[in-house]
Amino acid sequence: MPHPLAGKPVPKSELIDIPALVSAYYELKPDPSKESERVSFGTSGHRGSSLKKSFNETHVMAISQAVCDFRKSRGITGPLFMGIDTHALSVPAQMSAIRVLAANGIDLRIAKNGEYTPTPLVSFAILEQNGRNGKSADGIVITPSHNPPEDGGFKYNPPNGGPAETDITADIQKRANRIIENGMRGVKIVDYEDAVRSPFVKEYDFITPYVEALADIVDMGTIKRSGLKLAADPMGGSAIGVYKKINEIYGLDMDIINPYVDSTFSFMTLDHDGKIRMDCSSPWAMASLVRLRESYDLAFGNDTDSDRHGIVTPEGGLMNPNHYLCVAIWYLFKHRKWPQHLKIGKTLVSNSMIDRIAVSLKREVYEVPVGFKWFADGLFEGWLGFGGEESAGASFLRFDSTVWTTDKDGIILNLLAAEIKAVTGRDPAEIYADFENEFGRAYYKRIDAPATQELKNRLKKLDGKELRLTELGGDEIERIYTTAPGNGAAIGGVKIVTENGWVAMRPSGTEDIYKIYAESFRSKEHLEELLEAAGRIVSSLSAEK
């Protein structure tokens, strides 16, 4: 059941104490003997809170030095592009990272005038730089994405522009933890003032080149001519400046909701569990924008680093992220003159409607574990036309089928929804209804629940043979996955498939929760049966000594 305050404005009593949070960032030191206080890269970087001693200056400096060591080991000599979001710990973390990166002589690019920088703009800048010369550029994004205001995060993007693969993050994680264990010996540091005055730190305009190039991937002219009344809600995040520049360059009729930075995020509505979370795929977190839906032809939101999207239609409200992925895939492969060999990338917890649409399009599906890093090479090398996650993250190729970004880009997915409406005259929710009429209705749900570190580890390392199951939800089990069919990579959990549905259980890589995903091809009642069965499986793991 949702929290009693889910979808309601944040009570003042729930707002974080920013001075205390920032003080803890500098004053509290992690104990490397405690797993919860070590550097740990999940599906999208290292995240934590200074108040829990899981994200502070020690972590950031150690990770930054580890990145410098990694670059040296791989011969990466080009500029490093760094972006930050609007969480309270992001600016302190950037200052710490700059001190280390400059001391190591890294050619660093930071946003001009202290602007915030969305994740996709960092990916875009890396790829544009690497396309112009032989030096290999890479990047850092300081963000915990949609996580609560007290969290901080640190992501590394290698020269392919996407989230770092597991072997890279494992290397950086190992190096960083060793540095902390050794009392920070080996970390090069200079004073912040000396760093920013050094020849190594240069300001860079991330926003203008990205916005000017949007016409290469979205039909901005048709959106403009359509006269659609649009609303964009950056959720007080790093896309505020991007949407302002879009209006300036393309002249859209687009209102910007919450166009200011407030690191307490006091304007938010509470998420399903009563926490402040800038999750644009959550109907509770997006409640304020959903209430405005009838005032616009289409509205959309982003999380704080803008790698996720949320589409709001006048009649249907906030779209299920899986439903919009289906529409985006169908539209792009129908309306772009892309080569026939391009594949559709999906995570194995995304809905199966995608597979049915892919069959109708005569396109191959590339199914991978959770984590956008699994799509980066396919987009970079040009054999994936689209890569998307059920958690509302996706990117796709330009009109000419060349790479745009290799990290999630919530901005282009939002603008694509406007293009779809402008070109077809129908919003994405109306189009998805047609899919249900053609391919049948699927019932999908995801549940998040608290998890201890022990349970998360147990789930992550689970062997499907241990379950000894023969049926699920009244049907015979056809297959149990612990690796993804597309690339054979470990899924960090388990997926159980029957003829009429499936469930998947996996731990979150960024929060103290686990996730159950389920889809039924029968009914809502059958969906609940699947969820209950999955819950019993997890409970049995918790009960094990």
Is the confidence at residue 231, as pLDDT, over 60?
yes
Contact between 236 and 267 under an 8 Å Cβ cutoff? The reply is yes
CATH number of the domain bearing residue 51: 3.40.120.10
CATH number of the domain bearing residue 485: 3.30.310.50
Residue 233 lies in a domain: no
d(CA 277, CA 269): 9
The pLDDT tens digits of the residues spanning 5-49 come to 999 999 999 999 999 999 999 999 999 999 999 999 987 799 999
Residue 455 is predicted with a pLDDT of: 87
pTM metric for this prediction: 0.94
- Among residues 157, 190, 207, which one ends one of the domains? 207
Residue 432 is predicted with a pLDDT of: 97
Residue 338 lies in a domain: no
- Among residues 175, 190, 207, which one ends one of the domains? 207
Q: How many domains does the chain have?
A: 2
Residue 278 lies in a domain: no
Q: 131-135, 195-199, 227-231 — which is least confidently predicted? A: 131-135
**3-state secondary structure at position 346:** strand
d(CA 92, CA 131): 32
Catalytic residues: 145
Residue 107 lies in a domain: yes
Residue 128 lies in a domain: yes
Q: Average pLDDT, whole number, for the chain?
A: 95
Higher pLDDT, 536 or 191: 191
User: Which secondary-structure segment (H or E) carries 23?
Assistant: helix 18-27
Residue 113 lies in a domain: yes
- Among residues 161, 179, 207, which one ends one of the domains? 207
Confidence of residue 496 (pLDDT cuts 50, 70, 90): very high
Residue 135 is predicted with a pLDDT of: 81
In order, the DSSP letters of 475-538 are: EEEEEEEEE-TTT--EEEEEEEEETTEEEEEEE-SSSSEEEEEEEESS-HHHHHHHHHHHHHHH
The pLDDT tens digits of the residues spanning 419-464 come to 999 999 999 999 999 999 999 899 999 888 888 888 888 888 888 7
Residue 382 lies in a domain: no
The pLDDT tens digits of the residues spanning 243-283 come to 999 999 999 999 999 899 999 999 999 999 999 999 999 99
The pLDDT tens digits of the residues spanning 356-412 come to 999 999 999 999 999 999 999 999 999 999 999 998 999 999 999 999 999 999 999
Residue 510 is predicted with a pLDDT of: 65
- Please state the rounded mean pLDDT for residues 135-146: 96
Residue 540 is predicted with a pLDDT of: 84
Q: Where are the alpha helices (DSSP H) in 239-364?
A: 240-250, 287-290, 321-335, 353-361
- Please state the rounded mean pLDDT for residues 484-503: 93
Residue 414 lies in a domain: no
Is the confidence at residue 132, as pLDDT, over 80?
no
Instruction: Name the residue among 472, 540, 524 with its Cα closest to residue 503.
Output: 472
Confidence of residue 544 (pLDDT cuts 50, 70, 90): low
Is the confidence at residue 545, as pLDDT, over 60?
no
Residue-number span of the structural domain to which 67 is assigned: 17-207
